[in-house]
Chains A and B, each alone.
Chain A
Amino acid sequence: MKIIVDELGHSYGDIEVLKDISLTIPQGQIVCLVGPSGCGKSTLLRMIGGLERPTRGAVLTSGAPPAESLNPLTYIFQHFALLPWRSVADNIRLVLEDHKLPRKEQEAIIADVLARTRLSEFGHALPKQLSGGMKQRVAIARALAVRPACMLMDEPLSALDSQTRELLMEDLVSLWSREPFTAVYVTHNLAEAVRLGHRIVVLSRRPGRIHRMVDIDIPLEERHLGTPELEAHQAELWEMMRAEAEAADMELIDG
């Protein structure tokens, strides 16, 4: 399944936040959306996931999602969005309960995704007992449980400290390597973008437009902390964004 963003534009009242966005997310690839704060990248992600309606243009899918997919477009949130009153396993069960799966299959899915995110021992723990990194792994496990056709990741690592972020990036890479998934990955962190993105879309400041698209063709598993080519890409992206970010920083926030 492929996602096509077609001449999308959006305004909140008089304020235009997104303009003329056209973009294709190919199957099995991670597309990173980067841009200065307030450029509308999270808004764009919500529109791709159908949580918000664009004023102009449309988001289209081409090709049917895989038959076994329970929730083709699945989010991973910056602040994890775990129900604090449910245990780890029950948080995952939450998104399966509406699908009338046989009890056995439900348990099998939960066991599988917990194993893939290395959380098998923590099924009974409550979210308040978990570290930030573990919480986000639970959220990832929950997303995997519904076998998404495309994962929509909204700054998934921004709430974590840098060491944890590094570990989770490795986890994401190994998850993708074992079983490639399609993803749109929103971040303001260029290091994450160059490590995880097959394609990096740079948005301009408000109203957000596609400023540049950069494809990186180094396989994900070969990208590491301090890889020189990645450093170069990151520097190049920063040069592109610098002026925009500076200007965005000086803007007043209104609405």
Chain B
Amino acid sequence: MQNFIPTRRAAMALILAGTALTGATGQAVAQDITLGALRLTSHSPTYIALERGYFEDEGLNVELAFFESSAAMAVGVAGGDLDYGVTSISGGLMNLAQKGAVKVIGGALAEDPDVQGHVILASNAAFEDGVTEPAQLAGRSFGVTTAGSSFHYMLSRIAEGEGFDIADVQMKPLQKVGAIIGALSSGQVDGWAIQPSIGKRLVEEGAAHKIGDLSDYAPDYQVTAVFTSTGTAEGEREQTEAFLRALSHGVADYNAAFVDGTADEAEVTELTEIVHQYVSTDVDDARFAKDMAEGSMRINEGLSLSTSSLQSQLDWMQDEGLVSGDITLEMLVDPSYVETN
């Protein structure tokens, strides 16, 4: 397969032209793949698999491409610059799936009632003003990145669980997580729901108060998913399976060390160092190790995917008019790679 790369490029061009793909498969030489990554602890399995050579073992030569946001990564995969990505499930991803550009092939970050998941926060000012439980978020403002983002979805779960109308909450789109942190710390938004690594730190620094756990409202919430272009999902089965095996290996290491606590101390230290090479490089080692130990959410073993959570997210976005009503789960997911439930 000397001419693999040109073939793949040509394939991408064909996808862009909206034409069905007849791809090439093969397994002789190491294959070059580009993988999208965010500098977040939730992407630890990618770094672990890379540094420990799990990708190499599967005959994959991985190059990382770093992104600022998961939305940009989705577009990167659709445009053919990336082979695989891990991103939060959002309206953007669903719309791209509808256009036949991307497919979800596995699940990653998920809520697990036994593990500390997303925390619901109130700003100090709001907390003192009586917002001590998620039910009191009604009539308050809530930080999100954009409409249709995971934050928006989490708000909808809280609203449904507490029985208030989401329209009673003033949603504040602030585009970036950093902007929401700033707005919450200064009391310009009243509430937020965020991954434990960030949420715990805010609470410890006295910048906000924890008022609840998201797992009470969405116990099986599938937060992020592994996805690829439709062409790769359909035409590069062996390569994709190899990729998922390698990444799963990283996931197993991650869960053992940071979520289940079944790994020994030396293993935890080694993995922490690996991840720290990529994430929060400006934070000191001790602090980072603490964040990892206390704030890591579960990533599904074997990258299994909660299609029921995906379905409920899709239903909600369709109800909100954020995505077209024509989108089906089949357009979004290729269930042939991992275990689904």
Chains A and B touch (C-beta atoms under 8 A apart): no
| Residues in chain A within 8 A of chain B (CB atoms) | none
